[in-house]
Structure 1
Amino acid sequence: MQRLPDTALTIALASGGREHFGWGVDRHLAADLYDALNQNTRASGQWGKKGAPKIPEYPRPKSKPKCTGPKKAKSVADIYKVFSRR
């Protein structure tokens, strides 16, 4: 998967699913900037006794869960069974 744009469907499926489609580096940076501005607003505002309002984070797609634990080694016979089913 070389030379594909970071917003391509192939990259999205490799990242975790269709919800990642269109989420390139520029969109992730824009979401991070949105969250940083909201945090700065909460930190520097003069809210008085009520306290700072809770501003929700920009919605992002969920990441693919990481594999925990070692992978079990497969034999050549197991791999052959998987491919011969087709």
Structure 2
Amino acid sequence: MTTALASGGREQFGWGQDRHLAADLFDAINQNTRATGQWEKGKSPKIPAYPRPQAKTAAEETPARPRSVAEIYQHFQRR
């Protein structure tokens, strides 16, 4: 769970190297099938990619503004 949270969140749980490799292999086989198949009217079907957990965007990962020493001191003085 710690590795999943460090990788981007709870939806990353269970997604190790083997699962990422299997998903990439699935997509590669589908891409090869689309490229080499004999399709009617020369148009290949759209094969959806293997569903993967969504990565966080840069806006979601932006940390809050760091506190100054004076702000930290004031925070502890409020007690």
Which residue, 52, 58, 76 being the options, matches 2:69? 76
Alpha-carbon distance in 1 for matches of 2:14, 2:24? 16
Contact preservation (8 Å) 1:15, 1:64: no
Which of 18, 24, 34 is residue 26 of structure 2 equivalent to? 34
Aligned residue pairs, count = 75
- TM-score under structure 2 length normalisation: 0.76
TM-score, scaled to structure 1: 0.71
In structure 2, the CA distance between the partners of 1:46 and 1:12, relative to structure 1 (3 Å rule), is same
Q: Which has the larger radius of gyration?
A: 2
Q: Single out whichever of 35-44 and 48-57 deviates more from structure 2.
A: 48-57
How far is 1:15 from its partner? 1.5
**CA RMSD across the alignment:** 2.8
Structure 2: gaps spanning 5 or more residues: none
1:11 counterpart residue number: 3
- In structure 1, the gaps of 5 or more residues are 1-8
Whose helix fraction is larger, Structure 1's or Structure 2's? 2
- Percent identity between the two aligned chains: 65
| CA–CA separation in structure 1 for the residues paired with 2:26 and 2:77 | 50
How much does 1:16 deviate? 1.6
Q: Which stretches of structure 1, 4 residues or longer, exceed 6 Å deviation after superposition? A: none
Superposed CA deviations along residues 28-56 of structure 1, whole A, max 9, x for unmatched, are 01100100100000000010306111000
Matching of residue 46 in structure 1 with residue 75 in structure 2: no
Task: Please report how far the alpha carbon of residue 72 of structure 1 lies from its aligned counterpart in structure 2 after TM superposition.
Answer: 4.2
